[in-house]
Amino acid sequence: MIYEHMTGIPRFECEEYAPKSTRYCLLIPIINENKRIQEELAAAQKHGIDKLCDMIICDGGSTDGCTEAGPLISFGVNTLLTKRDLGKQGAQLRMGFWWALQRGYEGFITIDGNNKDSIEDVSKFITKLDEGFDFIQGSRFIPGGKAINTPLSRYLAVRLIHAPIISLTARHWFTDTTNAFRAHSRKYIEHPRVQPFRDIFMTYELLAYLSVRASQLGMKVCEVPVTRRYPKGEKTPTKISPIKGNWQLIKILLLNMRGKYQI
């Protein structure tokens, strides 16, 4: 099925492999992740994540064959959404959140599709959603969390720049703010002063914005311990270029601090 472009929602295709079966869903944005997404989905299936929440792939238009239906179905993927419009991660997440709202999910967990995160920890986010939390941030830097093979530059950037700026903006201390392993309640996404379905959220703006808006509005927020593992002796899996990409991230952080994305 094809959903045409709507205000704040990119044009996308939807392939449902199974009906809705759980209260919450796991949204996984990817673009040409090849074997990494297959390894991640295999780990999810091994730990029964596909039974705890419906797994939804939010593809940005992959061309490497990683979204072929056969393997996705075998790993327990519930639905494949494929963006056919402008935008990067922010557009993929808007697509995923909007579709999941229409389908009636009560909470939305997100995780990168590059197999760096402990997908087996999805149950921790579900527990917090059940307890009534509205925004749950996964962190490798709190007790119980693990940071494995983290490049020094990444570690310093998160701890000394990104986390302090996000925390100051959010008026709540967060320790692992670049981590997209997080959860959001339906109440949060539908809050009239959040409104994530805007075309201003094209790249990484939405991650930064959703990191801070819940606590600004007095909603329930927390962190849960997770593991983030970078491959040893391999190129760091990322879509962010060293100079242009990181400068863009800093610019987004500063605009977010100034309230650029607020309603």
pLDDT digits (tens, 9 = 90+) for 44-100: 999 999 999 999 999 999 999 999 999 999 999 999 999 999 999 999 999 999 999
Dihedral class, residue 8 (left if φ above 0, else alpha if ψ from -120 to 50, else beta): left
Write out the residue range of the structural domain in which residue 79 sits: 2-257
pTM: 0.95
Band of pLDDT at residue 131, cut at 50, 70 and 90: very high
Q: What is the pLDDT of residue 232?
A: 85
Task: Note whether 121 and 49 are within 8 A (CB).
Answer: no
The CATH number covering residue 19 comes to 3.90.550.10
Q: Is the pLDDT score of 168 beyond 60?
A: yes
Residue 194 covered by a domain: yes
The whole-number pLDDT of residue 243 equals: 58
CB-based contacts of 203, cutoff 8 Å, min separation 6: 87, 88, 89, 90, 248, 252
Q: Residue 77: what residue type?
A: V
Give the residue-averaged pLDDT of 35-52: 98
188 Cβ partners below 8 Å, 6+ apart?
A: 134, 135, 194, 210, 213, 214, 219
Average pLDDT along the chain: 95
In a domain, 147, yes or no: yes
Which pLDDT tens digit goes with each residue over 50-62?
Answer: 999 999 999 999 9
Asked whether residue 37 is domain-assigned, the answer is: yes
Identify the helix (H) or strand (E) that includes residue 85. none
What pLDDT is attached to residue 46?
Answer: 98
Using CB atoms within 10 A of its CB, is residue 2 exposed (0-12), middle (13-18) or buried (19+)?
Answer: exposed
| Domain membership flag for residue 263 | no
DSSP code at position 88: S
262, part of any domain:
no
> What does the alpha-carbon distance between residue 37 and residue 56 come to, in Å, rounded to a whole number?
12
The whole-angstrom distance between residue 183's C-alpha and the CA centroid of its chain comes to 8
* Residues 185-200: tens digit of each pLDDT: 999 999 999 999 999 9
- Structural domains in the chain (count): 1
Query: What integer pLDDT is reported at residue 242 of this predicted model?
Result: 55
60: which 2 tokens?
């940005």
Residues 6+ apart with CB under 8 A from 79: 14, 15, 16, 17, 18, 54, 56, 57, 99
Sign of CA dihedral 205, 211, 212, 215: positive
Q: Quick one: 179 exposed, middle or buried, by C-beta within 10 A (0-12, 13-18, 19+)?
A: buried
Q: Is residue 31 part of a domain?
A: yes
- The tens digit of pLDDT for each residue in 233-245 reads 766 555 555 556 6
pLDDT of residue 237: 55
> 246 falls in which pLDDT band (50, 70, 90)?
confident
| Phi and psi torsions of 36, nearest 5° | -65, -40
b/e per residue 90-112 (b: at least 16 CB within 10 A): bbbbbbbbbbbeebebebbbbbb
The helix/strand/coil state of 237 is: coil
Stretch 210-221: mean pLDDT, rounded? Answer: 98
Please give the backbone phi and psi of residue 45, each rounded to the nearest 5 degrees, phi first.
-65, -40
pLDDT value of position 247: 77
Q: Is 112 contained in some domain? A: yes
